[in-house]
Amino acid sequence: MPSEKENHRAIINEGEENEMEIFGYKISIPWIILCVIGYFVSGGILLLLFYWKPEWSVWSNCVPSSLEKANVVLLRTTDSRKKYTRKKMRWVSLTEFRGSLQNESGCSVISDKDSIVNRAIRKKDLKVKFIRVQKIRYVWDFFKKEFQKVGTLEEERTCFNIHSMYGSGLTKEEQDIRRLVCGSNTIEVEVSPLWKLFINKVLNLFYLYQFFTVILWLAEGYLGYAIAILLLSICTITLSLMELRKQSSKLHNLVKTHNNMKVTVCRRGNDFSEVESPDLVPGDIIILSGKNFFLSCDAILINGTCIINEGMLTGECIPVTKTQLPHGDNTMPWKQYSGEDYRRHILFCGTEIIRTESNAQGPARAVVLRTGFNTTKGDMVRSILYPKPLNFKLHRDVKWFFIFLGVLAIIGILYSVIIFAQRQVSAARIIVEALVLLTSAICPIIPAALTVGILYGQSRLKKCGIFCISPDRINMCGQLNIFCFDKTGTLTEDGLDLMGVIPSGGKQFEEMINFNQMDNLSWGPLFGAMTSCHSLIMTDGKMQGDPLDLKMFEATKWVLEDKGEDTEKEYSENMVVRPGPESNMAMQGVKVLFQYPFSSALQRMSVITQVIGEDELLVYMKGAPEMVASFSKPETVPTNFLEELERYTFQGLRVIGVAYKILQMENCDDFDSIEREEIEADLDFLGLLILENRLKPETKAILEELNAANIRTVMITGDNIKTATTVARNCSMIPEDSKIILVEACGPNGSTPASVTCSLLEYPSDQSNSGDTRINVEDVLDTKNYSNDYHFSMSGKTYENLEKHFSDLLPKVLMNGTVFARMSPGQKATIIDEFRKLDYYVGMCGDGANDCAALKMANAGISLSEQEASVAAPFNSKVTNIECVTELLKEGRAALVTSFCMFKYMSMFGLIEYINTLLLYWQRNIFGNNQFLVHDFAIMFVIFLTMSSTPAYHKLAPYRPPGQLLSPSMLFSVIYHVLFTIAMQTYAFLIVQNQPWYSDKDVYSACYPGNESLNINRTSILIKQRTKKNYESFENTTLWLLTAMHLVILALVLTKGKPFRRPIYKNYLFVATLIIEFALTLFFIFADFEGMYVVLELVCTPRSWRIHMLVILVICLVVSFVVEDFILNNRALWIALKKLFRMKPSSNYKITRAILDEDPEWPPIEKTIYGESNVTDDKEKMYNNPAFEYDDAVPSGKMI
């Protein structure tokens, strides 16, 4: 039996993005009493620490216990941040259902022993124990002794279970029980009251530090300066609250309609009733009738057919056909049975049902699968409310930089304590002086410096039609060094043009029938497939569907019959296609009796049809040529199939295979009972459809720009490998003079081990006149002559075998992998993850249809969608071409450089004031109230607002900006400016004391010598009998004037323009600011007005000393500019130093590249590499979707 300590910890959401550890605790009364005493003794500071660190609160108030007995749990994320969250255990009572729950025959909750709802009920008192984490409810499973997510049907259910257990609906009582246990079906985004938002914001450490600064400076008598900081804090808090309120209101409005829908529910016993959507529970049966309505939950279609618009999820507003879940299988979970194509049975929350089609068994019906925040739409909202933390080096480096500033502050505090103690200052005064020094060292505005560039970048992206739901990723876009693209709809046009049809003549293909010769194609199986094997629908008199289907059907000159209101009948009539007015065929038409919609995972679709007026049933299949051929009788597939396929795919054309057979079946209403594989077996191959998928006009230029910027480009597509490779060459993803290596990996087969073969592929010199593709076997003498100028191309099956049997070889192949074809949606995401493991910063661009997982896996995913925000990606572009990629990269780089510039500037501002304070403390002096106001607001704050607004440069540089604060160039820059500031300020501080006119007893001696004894007396009163903290002195005046000009010089020196941002002179507002600030500081230095001296608490100095200060500042400007631009930011110099000191790369991809460059056997062209295993272990065999058992060749067993 497990011990109490072992039951103390568990993991929830294992393997998911939001995986967390959970620890059980019980509240301890004695410890709570001690903590309450601590709250009062510490003046509330302990309570505040517990607010920031909930784990400290739990460890102080509670004692560890098993999760089953715990009344408090502590959750910890399993990522590198290890963030803690405290949750209190809650209970739901079901005592009102005591009669039914104790009578097992009265409620199916009891009869369903495997239900989580049943296992969560504590039988002795009918209570359910749960916690709520990020809007999701987790109940304690008393049988398995673990927390389980509720609000969703169990994934272990088989197809048979779902139909038998839930097909007839739930009882009213079971619905009520499930509603109490699972919660309501709502996606609620709270628009918090302003006072609540204000308190949460104010309790942030950053704002508390600002308020602490205000109180401290008020206590010191700096009223104006303190009020200015307070007003700045209030402004930033107000703007932040307004933005939070705006975002939450927008999100609230986005989901509020979800919570106010009417749904028809079928209860057990055919009891139909209309209920509010929040009352739905997992397992309910909902009736789907009518058209153009939205779903309020995720549901599994168990009867009928639905046409859905999933634009909210995918960004692609092409109607999708959903089919009912099969009935028969009772051997495996329904998702596993359906394979990667399980989504074709799911109706997702938030999607629009365009039309429903009932059948002989009744209206379209669906079982509620998930409710509330468990739904796909709820998951999208949760991803916005709780964005995934970014593992970005910049964020980690900031913490170390603040530690560095903290160390400096401690040194300064020790210095001030020693200085003031020697002068016998009171302990209270020493503490205050030390705290003042702390606020000087750590500038309270530094955190804002890292976000200002992001805000400007987000604003500019919005103007370009690019919307962002995760602004923190904008900075990360500045580090992207590899970008992956889907092909169809992303690199190429959505639409296709039908070039022609190549009928099969049995042993050989016939001549192509061009598009303009389609009238010569007579009625037959091939023409019948073109008229009926598609998923087109008529909505409001307009034909909609996949662009490929549209082009194919339009070429036949037939028409699709509009059903009108037929969907409201007892069961829907079949789709009918008829000859159009321009067709010369004399026949009534064709009925589509049953349809298996196209699946990207299965790479095919099929229909069962019947010519009107005839009894014969025909099955048509359309899909990937190699897939269709694999289902066809070998004797019907032409012997030159591969040659003909390669001929057209190597021209970058889209090739579709077509096949058919006569179906021997008597009952036309019982198609559901027959396995799909049985219907699709033993087809007769009919021929090929050749379609041209043109590149988008912008594609080639954008990819050339990315290549010039040394950003790797990769294609991940579901298309044919030859077509994909040709498109990659045509769009300059693969340069024409580069070598292309086809990688083919096979798994073990009996005694034959797994193997990998690499073949060099050369295109014929004239593709248009030759259909041949040669594998060059002889001319490969020295593979290293290719350097890195070679590209691997592989299929999804090859990738799967590499991942499974050659895991050590996979990273090497990925280093030059450019074309990944026939990839499933899951494999697309896996490739992105593998690139990230190599320490690449990966971008992904897709049209959203099958790329959602990959878009979310990438560091920055951008969906070409007309939606402002969807579940598909952090970025969405209304401009549906890849121009958005370069815009995103430019703005990301500009935002990152801006963040670094502002961070350096704000850090230096704080350190300069810190150095000044250290020097002035030597004389028990400090800058005055108005002096601080001028430095902080008249100079620094104006520069802060304008310096960060420089737009991105119009061209991508061939290298990335630095991505970490602790890089050598950044560290040496800060160190140099700090040392130069120390030297300059200390020099001025000491030299002014050696001037002939200087007197520490007479601050008027320089300009108003007059009565010396009177001046000495006045100076003595000014210093010794002062009522304020500071006093006028030559040192104070000198340091203040130097600092004022130095801040402007730093703004000029630290601002970066080309190659990541536009030149400084293009930022007209900033240039105007610099001119005004230079003029203002020069005025302060050379003006000689008594009123100015009084207001700014300065003393008059001779003109010679003012010129001396100006010379110092000119030297500062020249030296800083030379050091910053010609040494510290000299990229060539840093590269030379790395080579000189033989510094080894830290990124995995650079290490791998160095290894490959030294390997004379790489790439292994015309070689076969064998794996270690010689047998196939069925126990370890992974589940493989049969769609990916075939690459781009027909297996020999299928053909003669």
pLDDT per residue as tens digits for the range 279-314: 999 989 999 887 778 888 999 999 888 888 876 665
486: annotated active-site residue: yes
792 residue type, one letter: F
Lowest mean pLDDT among 193-202, 520-529, 967-976: 193-202
Lowest mean pLDDT among 700-709, 763-772, 912-921, 982-991: 763-772
pLDDT of res. 300: 92
| pLDDT of residue 163 exceeding 60 | yes
Residue in the structure block whose two tokens are 């293009």: 1066
Tell me the residue ranges of DSSP E strands in 282-363: 285-288, 293-294, 298-303, 305-309, 319-322, 346-347, 352-357
Lowest mean pLDDT among 687-696, 969-978, 1174-1183: 1174-1183
| pLDDT of residue 567 exceeding 70 | no
Q: Which residues contact 29 (CB under 8 A, 6 or more apart)?
A: none
The pTM (predicted TM-score) of the whole model is 0.77
Task: Please report which confidence band the pLDDT of residue 854 belongs to, taking 50, 70 and 90 as the band edges.
Answer: confident
Residue percentage of the chain with pLDDT more than 70: 88
More confident residue, 600 or 1100: 1100
Which of the residue ranges 431-435, 862-866, 931-935, 1041-1045 has the most confident prediction, judged by mean pLDDT? 1041-1045
Mean pLDDT over residues 461-489, rounded? Answer: 87
Residue percentage of the chain with pLDDT more than 90: 24
Give the Cβ contact number of residue 808 at 10 Å: 7
Cβ–Cβ under 8 Å, residues 877 and 468: no
Task: Please report which confidence band the pLDDT of residue 103 belongs to, taking 50, 70 and 90 as the band edges.
Answer: low
**Across the strands, what pairs with 365?**
287, 303
Q: Which of 379, 486, 851, 936 is catalytic?
A: 486
Q: Which residues contact 1003 (CB under 8 A, 6 or more apart)?
A: 1015, 1019, 1022, 1032, 1033, 1034, 1099
Gyration radius (Cα) of the chain, Å: 36
Separation of alpha carbons 598 and 727, rounded Å: 23
Mean pLDDT over residues 68-92, rounded? Answer: 89
| pLDDT of residue 59 exceeding 90 | yes
More confident residue, 335 or 1084: 1084
3-state SS, 348-416, equals CCCCEEEEEECECCECEEEEEEECHHHCHHHHHHHHHHCCCCCCCHHHHHHHHHHHHHHHHHHHHHHHH
Task: Please report which confidence band the pLDDT of residue 100 belongs to, taking 50, 70 and 90 as the band edges.
Answer: low
Mean pLDDT over residues 428-437, rounded? Answer: 85
Separation of alpha carbons 334 and 601, rounded Å: 16
Phi then psi dihedrals of residue 713, to 5 deg: -120, 135
| pLDDT of residue 157 exceeding 80 | yes
pLDDT of res. 705: 93
Task: Please report which confidence band the pLDDT of residue 540 belongs to, taking 50, 70 and 90 as the band edges.
Answer: confident
Residue in the structure block whose two tokens are 């051929």: 629
Closest CA to 875 of 887, 891, 862: 862
Cβ–Cβ under 8 Å, residues 229 and 137: no
pLDDT of res. 449: 75
Cβ–Cβ under 8 Å, residues 829 and 298: no
More confident residue, 609 or 107: 609
Closest CA to 131 of 146, 143, 111: 146
pLDDT of res. 791: 92
Separation of alpha carbons 768 and 745, rounded Å: 30
pLDDT of res. 1075: 95
| pLDDT of residue 919 exceeding 70 | yes
pLDDT per residue as tens digits for the range 333-355: 888 887 767 888 889 888 888 88
pLDDT of res. 2: 46
Task: Please report which confidence band the pLDDT of residue 1184 belongs to, taking 50, 70 and 90 as the band edges.
Answer: very low
| pLDDT of residue 776 exceeding 50 | no
**Lookup: tokens for 362:** 């009744």
pLDDT of res. 781: 36
Task: Please report which confidence band the pLDDT of residue 886 belongs to, taking 50, 70 and 90 as the band edges.
Answer: very high
Tell me, rounded to whole angstroms, the distance of Cα 858 from its chain centroid: 6
Please state, rounded to an integer, the average pLDDT across all residues of the chain: 82
Residue in the structure block whose two tokens are 């010689």: 1174
Lowest mean pLDDT among 127-131, 711-715, 863-867, 955-959: 863-867
pLDDT per residue as tens digits for the range 979-1027: 999 999 999 999 999 998 888 777 777 676 655 565 666 555 555 555 5
pLDDT per residue as tens digits for the range 1023-1063: 555 556 667 888 999 999 999 999 999 999 999 888 999 99
Closest CA to 974 of 916, 1042, 906, 1026: 906
pLDDT of res. 775: 37
